Amino acid sequence: MTDSPTQLEPGGANAIAVALGILGDEWNLWILRHAVDGCRRYGDWMARGSISNAVLSARLAGLTERGLFRKVRYSERPQRFEYHLTHRGAHVWPILLSMWAWERRWAPDSRASLPQMRHTGCDNEFVPELICHTCESAAGLHDVTTLPGPSGHWARSVPDSISRRRSAASGHPSQVLPHTMVLIGDRWSSAMLGALLLGTNRFGEFVDRTTAPPTIVVDRLTRFVELGVAVTEPRPEREDWVTYRLTDKGAAFFPVIALMIAWGQRWFRAPEGPALEFTHIACGGAFIPRLACGNCRAQLKAVSVQIVG
């Protein structure tokens, strides 16, 4: 059954690693975005953009293996299949919405290629807002406490598949999320971002926490500063040392990460328990992230969101 959660291997990759492995890939996001919009057959996706047959079939196979699609035969001779979104596949839509909203707000260059979102409840274009499912109040990075859970060891949270699956030949989708991909598009970037969101601010702490090679840590921190998600501040004890601090742009990415982790932990279960445990400070309950319409405040449902363009 694809609609019950997948049990992961004891001691292996945890829900965060699996979620990042799936969602840190531009083509997977592109395929899912169009699936939410009704694509089911090869030709449907081929008509939406310049994806190659090889890339499409590899990604569909991977997403089916992970339980986001169900393969359904629609023709006997020749044998042909449709790919139907499962519940877990369909539940990716709030993550896509939050990525588009963040790019639209913080990456002006990509604005023109992003879809518009309309809430049928209030008949307006909207910006989604992260809320707590239990108390329905708004929740940002600083409204939530995060503790490691029993499967939360850093080494288990790093996806091993993103960089391997990428190749120059596969190109990029026409609808890109360039800044999002700097943050989650390779295994070490996402680990570094996680450390930054959890308040890590010194070089040595990044190395210790993420177990990334120091050259990678330097490279990713430089990219984060260039992208404007982190800034450096001098350290009083030595002028050539700096600390790294999350900017507003960096903190504003929290909804994407919170929704990705919640989705991962909903559908991929490590036998030891969750990787991270979130608590909403205001209500004291377990934090279950949801999106609300920024205009009318109603909690968003898939059926009440129209994606245009």
Contact flag: residue 127 with Zn ion (CB under 5 A): no
* CA distance to 145, 152, 182, 250, 287, per residue, from 141 (Å): 8, 19, 20, 10, 11
Name the residue among 155, 95, 133 with its Cα closest to residue 287. 133
Whichever of 138 and 218 has its CB closer to Zn ion, that residue is: 138
Name the minimum Å distance from CB 100 to Zn ion: 16
Contact flag: residue 121 with Zn ion (CB under 5 A): yes
Contact flag: residue 122 with Zn ion (CB under 5 A): yes
Name every residue whose Cβ is closer than 8 Å to that of residue 309 and which is 6 or more positions away in sequence: 114, 115, 116
Q: Which of 32, 130, 132, 260 binds Zn ion (CB under 5 A)?
A: 132
Are the C-beta atoms of residues 29 and 99 closer than 8 Å to each other?
Answer: yes
Of 34-42, 130-138, 168-176, 237-245, the window that binds Zn ion (rule: CB under 5 A) is 130-138
The tally of CA atoms less than 13 A away on the side-chain side of residue 94 is 27
Are the C-beta atoms of residues 3 and 91 closer than 8 Å to each other?
Answer: no
Cα separation, 192 vs 197, in Å, equals: 9
Q: Which of 110, 134, 211, 232 binds Zn ion (CB under 5 A)?
A: 134
Residues 271-300 that bind Zn ion (CB under 5 A): 280, 283, 293, 295-296
Q: Count the residues of the shown chain that bind Zn ion, applying the rule CB under 5 A.
A: 11
Contact flag: residue 304 with Zn ion (CB under 5 A): no
Euclidean distance between the first and the last CA atom of the chain, given in angstroms as a whole number: 34
Of 53-61, 86-94, 114-122, 233-241, the window that binds Zn ion (rule: CB under 5 A) is 114-122
Name the minimum Å distance from CB 304 to Zn ion: 8
Name the minimum Å distance from CB 117 to Zn ion: 10
Name every residue whose Cβ is closer than 8 Å to that of residue 107 and which is 6 or more positions away in sequence: 178, 179
Note the residues at the interface with Zn ion (CB under 5 A).
119, 121-122, 132, 134-135, 280, 283, 293, 295-296
